[in-house]
Structure 1
Amino acid sequence: MSRLLRLAFYFLLAENIMINFMVLAGDVTPVIRAFEEYNIVSDVIPKAPPCLVKVKYPSGVQVYLGNELTPTQVRDEPSVTWNAEPDNYYVLAMTDPDVSNLEYPIRREMQHWLVGNIPGSNVSSGETIAEYLGSAPPPSVNRNRYVFLVYQQPDILVFDEPRISNRSAENRDWFSIANFAKKYGLGDPINGNFYLAQYDDYVPIIHGILNQNDN
C-alpha cells in the first residue's frame, strides 16, 4: 500500500512539474526566444527578460517581439504597462542598438526614452531622464531594432544623468542600458519587448527638429 502511495505522490509531483513547465513555456519562452533570435541578448543586455511589457501607440499599433512598425506610426509617446507591484519603483528604457554612421561604422546604442522612479506602472508619475524620441533610422540601413526594457529598482534612486528634451539628440548617443543598469544596481530586466523600423517620410521631420535645436 505504501508503495502505491509513493507512486501516486511521484505521479502528482511529475504532473505538477509538467503543468508548470507548460505555463512557463507559454508565457515566458517567447520573450526569451525572440530576444535571443534577434541578438538583443549580447548586443544590448546579457540576459533576456522573462516577461512581456505591453506597448501601445496612439496611432493604434502595438509592439510585439519584432513586428515591423513605421516611424510615422511610432512618432508619439506610447502607453506602457506591465505587471508591477504598486509599492515598488521601476525604470523604463527604450533603446536603439543599431545606430551607426560613416565616421564610426560600428554598431552603437542610442537612448530614445528613459524614465526612472516609476511608482508601479504609472510611467507619467516617474522621473523622466530622456523624453520620448520616435524612430528615425537612416535610409541606408535595412531595419533598426527598438527595444523596451523594464527594471525593478531596489528603492527610490537619485539619477545623475543629464536630462534630455524630445527636441534634442545631445547625450542620447553612445548609451548603454547594460552599463546604466549596472551603475544603479538594477540587475537584469524583468520585462521587455521590441519592434523593427526602417526609414519613411517622417524621419526627415525628426532630424530637422533635432538639428534645429542642437545647432
Structure 2
Amino acid sequence: MGSNVDPLVVGGVIGEVVDLFVPTTMMDVNFGTKHVHNGCDIKPSLATDPPFVQIGGRPCHLFTLVMTDPDAPSPSEPSMRECLHWLVINIPGGTGPIQGDEVISYVGPKPPLGIHRYTLVLFQQKSRLSTTSIELPPRTRETRAEFNTRNFADQHDLGMPVAAVYFNSHKEPNRRRH
C-alpha cells in the first residue's frame, strides 16, 4: 500500500525553508490563468508580474506572505539562499497581498542556471506589524540575498506557517531574431 508524502517534503521546502507544519489556511496562487500547485513549472515570462494570491480567513486576521528562491544562484551551490522575491505584511484574511503592506516589492523568477524552486509561505500574525519594525539582514536589504524564512518568522513572532506552495522555474531560451 502506497503512502502519501507531502509534496513540500519531497520538494525540500520543508527542511530547507520551513519546518514541518500543518496547513490551516487556504492560499490560492495564480499567474494569469496558470494555477500554482506544488512542484509545477512556471515560465519566468509568465511570472514577471506578481501572482494573484487569495488567502482564506477572516478580515480581522492578518497574514504575512514571504516569497523566496532557496536555490540562488544555482541549485548545486545555493550560496545566496534564500533570495527574497517578495514580502508583504498585514494582509487581511479573505483578501490578497495587494491589500497588505509591501515591505519588499515583487521581483519575478530569473534563474540563471538550473531549475529553481520558488516558495510562497504564509504566516498568520498575532498582531499588526509596522513596516518600520521589520528587521532584515543588511545583505538582504541591499541584494535580497541570504534571507532566512525561519529566522524572519522567529524575529517577528509569526510562529509556524499556515500555508505554503512552491513552483519550479528555469531560464527560458533566448528567442532568435530572424
TM-score, normalization by structure 1: 0.69
Q: CA RMSD in A?
A: 2.4
What's the offset of the Cα at 1:35? 0.6
Return closer, same or farther for 1:181/1:82 CA change in 2, 3 Å cut-off: same
Amino acid across the alignment from 2:37: Y
The answer as to 2:157 corresponding to 1:185 is: yes
Q: Secondary structure at the match of 1:36?
A: helix
Kept in 2: contact 1:112–1:131 (CA 8 A): yes
Q: Which runs of 5+ in 2 are unaligned?
A: none
Structure 1 runs (4+) greater than 4 angstroms displaced? none
Q: Which has the higher contact order (CA 8 A, sep 6+)?
A: 2
Higher strand share: 2
Q: Name 1:95's counterpart in structure 2.
A: 68
In terms of Rg, which structure is larger? 1
Q: Aligned partners of 2:78 and 2:106: how far apart in 1? A: 25
Q: Name 1:176's counterpart in structure 2.
A: 148
The superposition leaves residues 94-139 of structure 1 with CA deviations (integer Å, 9 ceiling, x where unpaired) of 11100136xx76461111010001122342121101111100001x
Q: Aligned partners of 1:105 and 1:198: how far apart in 2? A: 15
Q: Secondary structure at the match of 2:44?
A: coil
Q: Which runs of 5+ in 1 are unaligned?
A: 1-28, 164-168, 203-215
Identity of aligned residues (%): 28
Q: Name 2:110's counterpart in structure 1.
A: 136
Q: Name 1:78's counterpart in structure 2.
A: 51
Kept in 2: contact 1:110–1:175 (CA 8 A): yes
Higher helix share: 1
What's the offset of the Cα at 1:63? 0.7
What's the offset of the Cα at 1:183? 0.4
Q: Aligned partners of 1:73 and 1:105: how far apart in 2? A: 24
Amino acid across the alignment from 1:100: P
